[in-house]
Amino acid sequence: EAQVTQNPRYLITVTGKKLTVTCSQNMNHEYMSWYRQDPGLGLRQIYYSMNVEVTDKGDVPEGYKVSRKEKRNFPLILESPSPNQTSLYFCASSLSTSGAKNIQYFGAGTRLSVL
Amino acid sequence: SQQGEEDPQALSIQEGENATMNCSYKTSINNLQWYRQNSGRGLVHLILIRSNEREKHSGRLRVTLDTSKKSSSLLITASRAADTASYFCATGSYNTDKLIFGTGTRLQVFP
């Protein structure tokens, strides 16, 4: 089954404790992206990647890191989480290198709470 | 920066009625997409309309695009309780690789 898989689905952590949210897709998609969703603000893009070893900042990249060493994986790293990073996070992938011109497929989401 | 803004923010209707949601955007676009999100779940793609198209249908969904007014509408006909969800428009432009989402319309369909 074609899918985007995020782990974990739920995470509670404390300020400053490094964490990684994994994202994997099995559709051989070129483009992958991370979004955060906050009430009243819709989805905001954090980082995106058009191909292996190619990443770029979205609208809200501060406090986050990503890497794209393999085509299928795009982990989101919070080196020193803070309470304002409490949010619902989504990973998405798209077939071509331009995520703006094609359908995006979303993971089920990761709900993160930073205490 | 938010490109799309949906209107209304929330909509409540009875089963069988039609639901119309609007999306306005600010800059030139390559395409506009509509997504659906059930509470707290991932977004699911509904329909994509390109800038040279004016109308598109998919089952009970009808999307229109007016590039002169920088707006789009999503019509769900003969709504069902299962259509209860949030609906987002997203725009893709020619000069970026980002899909920019609006803040969404929350639709409640009462049986």
Quick: pLDDT tens for A28-49: 999 999 999 998 888 999 999 9
Grade residue B3 by pLDDT with cuts at 50, 70 and 90: low
Note the pLDDT tens digit of each residue in B24-60: 998 889 999 999 999 878 999 999 999 999 999 999 9
**Contact list, B93 vs chain A (CB under 8 Å):** 100
Checking if the pLDDT of A100 tops 80, the result is no
- C-beta of residue B10 within 8 angstroms of C-beta of residue B106: yes
Rounded to 5, what percent of chain A is helix, strand, coil? 5, 50, 45
> CB–CB of B92 and A101 under 8 A?
yes
Residues of A in contact with B96 (CB under 8 A): 100
Burial label, A9 (beta-carbon count in 10 A; 0-12, 13-18, 19+): exposed
> Sign (positive/negative) of CA torsion B29, B87, B2, B24?
positive
Please compute the mean of the pLDDT values over residues A67-83 and round it to a whole number.
97
DSSP letter string, A31-60: EEEEEEEETTTEEEEEEEEEETTEEEE-S-
